Structure formats: C-alpha cells, structure tokens
Amino acid sequence: MGGDFAPVNVIAGAVDALRETNNRFEIAFVGPESIIRNQLQSYQAGQLQYQIIDASQVIDMHDTATASLKQKRDSSISIGVALLKEGKVDAFVSAGHSGAVMSAATLILGRVEGVSRPTIGAFFPSEKGVCLLLDAGANVDCKPQHLYEFALMGSIYTHEMFQISTPKVGLLSIGEEESKGNEVVKEAHKLLKQSKLNFIGNVEGRDILSGKADVVICDGFIGNIILKFAESVPGFLKTKVKQVTAKSILMKGAGLLLRKTLRTVLKSLDYEEYGGVPVLGANGVTIIGHGKSTPKAIKNMILRAEEMARKGINERIKEAMVTAR
Amino acid sequence: MGGDFAPVNVIAGAVDALRETNNRFEIAFVGPESIIRNQLQSYQAGQLQYQIIDASQVIDMHDTATASLKQKRDSSISIGVALLKEGKVDAFVSAGHSGAVMSAATLILGRVEGVSRPTIGAFFPSEKGVCLLLDAGANVDCKPQHLYEFALMGSIYTHEMFQISTPKVGLLSIGEEESKGNEVVKEAHKLLKQSKLNFIGNVEGRDILSGKADVVICDGFIGNIILKFAESVPGFLKTKVKQVTAKSILMKGAGLLLRKTLRTVLKSLDYEEYGGVPVLGANGVTIIGHGKSTPKAIKNMILRAEEMARKGINERIKEAMVTAR
C-alpha cells in the first residue's frame, strides 16, 4: 500500500518483475488481501509466483515514523519487515513512508555486526556512470567513524552490484585539500586515508555529476539536501523550457521535439532507473522507494533487492567490518 | 588581474559598465599600470571616468588566502581592499582568488558592528525569481546565532536590492517540521521563530529552485556544496544532450535547437547574470566574482556593487544588528 500510486503501481511493477525474470523468485504482497487480489486479477497473474500476506493497516504520510510502528502493528511495513526478520522473505521493498521503513529496518532488523549506524544511499547519474552518495538522509550529526563506515559499506555495495573492482571513494567537502572542510570531515579524512579503501580524497559538489568518485560520503543532513535539490532540477528546467519556447512560434513547433529530447536527457537525473535507495548495514535487505514510484521504478527496486540478497551484500559488509576492526 | 581571463574580461566589463551608465561613477583599476593602460587603449576609453592605481603583484590560484595577503602586500587585492578601508573607494570587486578576497574583506575591513561573522551569499534562479542562499562557503561549523545573523543580513539585502517588502526567510533542513534537522538547525529554528524576520520555517533542498523563500539560510559547508553542485548541472546536461542527440540524424537536428534553448534556460542557473557573490557584514562593500567571469558578469558585478554602496546596505545591517540586540 506504499506510495502515492498504491496499490496500482506497486502491483504493476511487481508483476513486470516476475514476468521479466520468468518467475526467478517469489513475491509476497503484504497489504489488505482483498484489494491486492482484485488488483492482481486485472493482470491475469495466474501464472506468476506470488503469495498474499494480509495486513489490515496502512502507515500514511502524516504518521510519525517510530510512533506509527508501535501503534500500527498490523501495517504492511511492520509485517513485511517482521517477515524479513524471521527469514520468511529474503528482502523487503516499499514505496511507503520512508521514515517508517528506515525505522523498521533499524529497530526491528537490528544492525549488521560492527556497524554503528545503518545508512541509506542515493544514486546520482554521472558522466561516467553512476555515483552512490551516502548517507542520503538517515543519519544527521554523524561522527567521523560513521562516515568511515558509510565509505566501507558503499565500497562493498558498488563492488558487488556494479562490478567495480576497487571503487573510488570521495569525501564531500568544500575544497580538495586535506585541510578543507568542517571539523567532522577533517577527522574523517584522516580515518579514510589510513584505511584500505580506494580513497581519492576530498571531492566537491561539482564532482558528484562528473563521475570523479564511485562513492561519495557525507553527513545525511547534507546528502538529503543535495538529493532533494537534484530531484527538483528536472521540474525546474521543464518549467523554464516552456517559458522560453512559448515566446516564438518556431520554438513552439519545436517544443514537442525539444521536450521529448529533454525528457530522455533528464531521465538520468531521475530516481526511476535506480528504483529506490538501499538500506546498508541493517540485518536484512531493504530498499526504500520514492513515494511517486512508477511501475518501472517498483520493478527495478524489486530486481535490485533480489540481486542484493543473492549476492549477500550484508554478509560482505559483516566480513569487512570484522576485518577492519 | 583577477580571474582566468584577466585583464581582458575585467577591463571589457568595466568599460561596458561605465558606458551603460554614462559615467555615473568612477572606476579605479587596481593592477599593473602599463598592462591596464595598454588594454584600455583598445577600447578608446578616453571619454570614460577612470583612474589606474598601480599594483605590481598578483595573488594566483595556488597561493593560500591569508599567507598571500601578508606576503603580497602589493597585490591588487590587498591594495584594492585597503583603498576601500581608507574610504578612497566605495566598493571593491574582484574575480580573483576568492579566499584571498574574503580574507581581505574580513581581516582588513573588519566587521560591521554587531556581526559575528561576515557571510557571502549566492544567487539561485527560482521559478518565482531569485533565491539568495547564505552562507555560500565563507563559514563552516556555524553556531545557531551565526545562522540567525545570516538571515538578518540576507533579509536586508533582498529588501534593499530586490525591492521585496518582507523577504521570506527559510532555514535549510531535511524536513519541514520544526523537529527535523541537525542540532544547530533545530536551535537556529528557535531563534528565527522568535525574531521579527518573515521566517517561513524549514525549507528543503527542493525549495531552493521552487521559489518558496527569498532567502535560504544554511551553514557555509552545505551552501558551498550545493552551489558547486548547481554550477555543474549545465555542463552535465550539455554532455548528456550530445550523447542523446548523436543517436539519429533527426535528433541531431533537434539537438542544435535544444542546445540553443537549453543555453537560454541554463543561463538562469549561471552566475553571469548576478555577477558575483556579495560579502555581507564586512565594513565595506565587496563582491567576489567567479574565476571564469565574462565581461557581462564583470559589468553586472560592478553595477551591483555600486548599487549596494549607494543604498547603504552595510548601514542598514548595522542598524538592524543594533535594534535586534
């Protein structure tokens, strides 16, 4: 029931994920059983590998994260994460209340051994591929050790999921020199420099899109602000293009073609391709989707979660944390 | 001699500023006299109101800010800011070493009475006009009181310069609720709420371009990262447009037109229109230009500085600081 377009988009995306992979895995739909069953009928889903787990409650956007988990124990988020905790499912994805999913992941699942704070990472397009930025909003007022752990987890994620042999890790700051930054970043720089990670030093705001680093590390307060800023760029440009092309008839004619091309270009700035942001360092694979997730975003989120579970990302993180101690 | 294209762009922009305003003010060029004189000859600048103040040294990009001010006492930045301090000029603009200009402004000029830390503001385009974001990189590890002072100075600047009667002030955070943010932001929220400013509460990363606030307040560490990120968006999009439109002949045709449109659209994301970032709270009007300043950017920077001096922005800040105590 998660997100602005549930259950329609959620179920459509899940059906696509199963069809595309020829039922390589099984999906457990968690939510009000009758609604889900009705919705699935329109997709002739008889051939698909799924089950429905009834959950009568929905955590909505106005609920507070931790309170709602306590009060709505029969919500799809609570039940879904509990299934993951019990090992009855291998991964949990939701386009619902981000804060509630994050709280459920940390409170119910617990942390991977050695991890101080689980983190969420966001994907940015770059001129060379993809940049994973973390923390994207789960942790504010981070200590240097937290930033170091984010770097470790981000390296493992990009190594396993994007087949990058030694991912380049950059520390987000306001100058490339080691002496630049705030107090926390200067301390984190020292920790990263001493580590075995492929640390390329400080990177600046402009380096996120340039592809200088595969993993960019920052406090969640900053990461979330940049993420939201970046997400607002496509809408801003569309408005501006409309204003500009409205001024001449020639431009108006070309406007359609322009908008089509622009749409393709801006797609890379969009969350849709990546599906959602993974939670790293919690005891169980969880991906948090955008509230406005399209069926494609849902599908990609499910495929990504299945891949994370299959590749044992959390086991890799645990091993690395133990070795790094 | 400041910036990547000095003295050509600097002198071209200054000449334009004088011509456009019919010599409403006088320009003092500070730098190597013979070079400036030669350059001015090509503009038939005989009718223009200017003087040349010789400065034999240049602070280059590899110098460190404070050390270079001490070692290069005969640099254009040192001499120019000293002229401002002595009241021989009313404003100082430079596209040179940003750190050195900022250091000179704070160390040589001193602070406006009541101001704890002078700040620099950056302009962002918004769907409704312009958004002034401060601090844009002068101050890291800010205390709540600093953020409050930035808000006060930003309100005065946008009121005087953009004729906004009661500028809307937003505090950059990761959620609209008062309880959201890091420790410093939560405290700053309280100060702003109690103040006489038109405080609209927390704003998020997406609200910078949406125009929700006229003034957006944040720590300089965050402000600088967002500024650099935003500046990298036009280049990133140009690369992507090329990649996308290279795929078909029809698209190639559309590509040309799109690039032209985008250029117009992206101009609003560009520093050129605003000329540079003003220093607020130092005892003297100073604007710091982009290293890549075009003649147009230089011209706008000069016009903006003259307007700031004429409107007595610093006097307004001083009055407000005294009243706010």
- Same-domain check for residues A124 and A101: no
Residue A251 has pLDDT above 70, yes or no: no
Residue B259 has pLDDT above 80, yes or no: no
Average the pLDDT over A177-197 and give the result: 95
Domain contains B276: no
Contact residues, A window 175-234, toward B, CB-based 8 Å cutoff: 181-183, 185, 204-210, 218-222, 224-233
User: Cβ contacts of residue A118 below 8 Å, gap of 6+?
Assistant: A105, A106, A111, A112, A138, A279, A280, A281, A282
For residue B47, the distance in angstroms to the closest alpha carbon of chain A comes to: 38
Residue A262 has pLDDT above 90, yes or no: no
- Same-domain check for residues B138 and B235: yes
Average the pLDDT over B206-227 and give the result: 96
B231 Rama sector, left if φ>0, alpha if ψ -120 to 50, beta otherwise: alpha
Residue A236 has pLDDT above 90, yes or no: no
Residue A270 has pLDDT above 70, yes or no: no
Amino acid in position A274: Y
For residue A52, the distance in angstroms to the closest alpha carbon of chain B comes to: 34
Residue A237 pLDDT: 84
Q: How many CB atoms lie within 10 A of CB A71?
A: 14
Please name which of B303, B309, B307 lies closest in space to residue B13, comparing C-alpha atoms: B303
- Same-domain check for residues B48 and B193: no
Enumerate the residues of chain B whose CB falls inside 8 A of the CB of residue A209: 229, 232-233, 235-236
- Same-domain check for residues A125 and A145: yes
Buried b (16+ CB within 10 A) or exposed e, B217-230: bbbbbbbbbbbbbb
Task: Render pLDDT for A149-166 as a digit per residue (tens, 0 to 9).
Answer: 999 999 999 999 999 999
Interchain CB distance below 8 Å, A233 and B233: yes
Domain contains A317: no
Average the pLDDT over B61-66 and give the result: 80
Three-class SS of chain A: CCCCCCCHHHHHHHHHHHHHCCCCCCEEEEECHHHHHHHHHCCCHHHCCEEEEECCECCCCCCCHHHHHHHCCCEHHHHHHHHHHCCCCCEEEECCCHHHHHHHHHHHHCECCCCCCCEEEEEEEECCEEEEEECCCCCCCCCHHHHHHHHHHHHHHHHHHHCCCCCEEEEECCCCCCCCCCHHHHHHHHHHHHCCCEEEEEECCCHHHHCCCCEEECCHHHHHHHHHHHHHHHHHHHHHHHHHHCCCHHHHHHHHHHHHHHHHHHHCCCHHHCCEEEEECECCEEEEECCCCCHHHHHHHHHHHHHHHHCCHHHHHHHHHHHHC
- Same-domain check for residues B137 and B218: yes
Q: How many CB atoms lie within 10 A of CB A321?
A: 20
- Same-domain check for residues B108 and B15: yes
- How many domains does chain A fold into? 2
Domain contains B17: yes
Q: Rounded CA gap, B39 and B34, in Å?
A: 8
Instruction: Kindly indicate the confidence band of residue A255, based on its pLDDT and cuts at 50, 70 and 90.
Output: low
pTM for this one? 0.92
Is residue A291 packed enough to be buried (19+ CB in 10 Å), middle (13-18) or exposed (0-12)?
A: middle
Helix axes A295-310, A144-162, angle to 10 degrees: 100
Task: Render pLDDT for A190-218 as a digit per residue (tens, 0 to 9).
Answer: 999 999 999 999 999 999 999 999 999 99
Domain contains A316: no
Interchain CB distance below 8 Å, A229 and B208: yes
| Alpha-carbon Rg for chain A in angstroms | 21
Average the pLDDT over A255-266 and give the result: 73
Task: Render pLDDT for B288-323 as a digit per residue (tens, 0 to 9).
Answer: 998 888 999 999 999 999 999 999 999 999 999 988
Structure tokens given for A103: 């709280």
Q: Rounded CA gap, A57 and A95, in Å?
A: 15
Residue showing tokens 């790293």: A280
- Same-domain check for residues B38 and B71: yes
Please name which of B5, B44, B49, B4 lies closest in space to residue B29, comparing C-alpha atoms: B49
State the residue range of the domain holding A189: 116-275
B268 interfacial to chain A (CB closer than 8 Å):
yes
Residue A297 pLDDT: 92
- Same-domain check for residues A171 and A65: no
Q: Rounded CA gap, B83 and B103, in Å?
A: 15
Average the pLDDT over B174-195 and give the result: 95
Q: Using the 3D structure, point to which of A233, A259, A275 is the last residue of a domain.
A: A275
Task: Render pLDDT for B268-284 as a digit per residue (tens, 0 to 9).
Answer: 666 667 778 999 999 99
Average the pLDDT over B47-53 and give the result: 94
Average the pLDDT over B149-158 and give the result: 97
Average the pLDDT over B179-208 and give the result: 96
Mutate which of B189, B221, B239, B243 to test chain A, going by most A C-beta atoms within 10 A? B221
Task: Render pLDDT for A73-118 as a digit per residue (tens, 0 to 9).
Answer: 889 999 999 999 999 999 999 998 888 999 999 899 999 999 999 9
Buried b (16+ CB within 10 A) or exposed e, B145-183: ebbbbbbbbbbbbbbbbeebeebbbbbbbbeeeeebbbe
Residue B198 pLDDT: 98
Instruction: Kindly indicate the confidence band of residue A325, based on its pLDDT and cuts at 50, 70 and 90.
Output: low
For residue A63, the distance in angstroms to the closest alpha carbon of chain B comes to: 13
Residue B12 pLDDT: 95
Task: Render pLDDT for A119-139 as a digit per residue (tens, 0 to 9).
Answer: 999 999 888 889 999 999 999
- Same-domain check for residues B107 and B133: no
Instruction: Kindly indicate the confidence band of residue A234, based on its pLDDT and cuts at 50, 70 and 90.
Output: confident
Interchain CB distance below 8 Å, B226 and A226: yes
- Which CATH number do you get for residue A71? 3.40.718.10
Q: Are A101 and A130 in contact (CB under 8 A)?
A: no
Q: Which of A34-48, A76-90, B17-31 has the lowest mean pLDDT?
A: A34-48
Q: Rounded CA gap, A119 and A156, in Å?
A: 13
Q: Rounded CA gap, A158 and A154, in Å?
A: 6
Domain contains A82: yes
Instruction: Kindly indicate the confidence band of residue A241, based on its pLDDT and cuts at 50, 70 and 90.
Output: confident
Domain contains A19: yes
Q: Rounded CA gap, A135 and A180, in Å?
A: 20
User: Cβ contacts of residue B198 below 8 Å, gap of 6+?
Assistant: B155, B166, B167, B168, B169
Average the pLDDT over A39-57 and give the result: 90
Q: Rounded CA gap, A10 and B22, in Å?
A: 64
Domain contains A199: yes
Q: Are A147 and A138 in contact (CB under 8 A)?
A: no
For residue A25, the distance in angstroms to the closest alpha carbon of chain B comes to: 35
Residue A249 pLDDT: 65
- Same-domain check for residues A202 and A71: no
Domain contains B122: yes
Residue B142 pLDDT: 97
In the β-sheet with B215-217, what is the strand arrangement from edge to edge?
B91-94, B285-289, B276-280, B119-126, B129-134, B215-217, B168-172, B198-203
Average the pLDDT over B3-15 and give the result: 90
Contact residues, B window 32-51, toward A, CB-based 8 Å cutoff: none
Residue B169 has pLDDT above 80, yes or no: yes
Residue A269 pLDDT: 67
> What's the whole-number average pLDDT of chain A?
90
Enumerate the residues of chain B whose CB falls inside 8 A of the CB of residue A219: 182
Interface predicted TM-score of the whole assembly (ipTM), two decimals = 0.91
Pairing, β B168-172 against β A168-172 = unpaired
Q: Are B129 and B95 in contact (CB under 8 A)?
A: no
- Same-domain check for residues B105 and B219: no
- Same-domain check for residues B266 and B121: yes
Q: Residue A187: what are its φ and ψ, rounded to 5°? A: -70, -40
Q: Rounded CA gap, B319 and B322, in Å?
A: 5
Residue B112 has pLDDT above 70, yes or no: yes
Q: Which of A264-268, B199-203, B277-281 has the lowest mean pLDDT?
A: A264-268
User: Cβ contacts of residue A238 below 8 Å, gap of 6+?
Assistant: A259, A262, A266
The DSSP element (H or E) to which B217 belongs, if any, is strand B215-217
Interchain CB distance below 8 Å, B265 and A240: yes
